[in-house]
Amino acid sequence: MKAKIVSIENGLQEYEDVEMIRVKSKHHNLLIMQHYMPVLGELDGYVDIVLKDHSVRFPKIKGYYMHKQDEFQLLVEKLEAQPVSMPRDDEEDE
């Protein structure tokens, strides 16, 4: 799966080999995995891009997202904090 994040502050950021994407907004909570149904919506919350060895969190964002044909696209309208790279949650227990 691929992920593309577009913002004025950071330009285009692309991620390959994405395992899953967490979308947490005011009104919904999604976990998008490979072959997930097409979806689009407005976001006021955060997005986690989960890769094989780490994840990248985009906290406190407002924008719009779309997922179709195993490609997630996020258009960031307002970014209140910079993205943070962190180890995967399941690796911390090992």
The predicted pLDDT at position 93 comes to 47
32-68 pLDDT, tens per residue? 999 999 999 999 999 999 999 999 999 999 999 999 9
CB-based contacts of 89-93 (< 8 A; 24+ apart in sequence): 89/55, 91/53
The predicted pLDDT at position 94 comes to 45
Contact 74, 67 (CB under 8 A): no
Contact 68, 21 (CB under 8 A): no
- Tell me which architecture the domain covering 2-87 has in CATH: Sandwich (2.60)
The predicted pLDDT at position 90 comes to 58
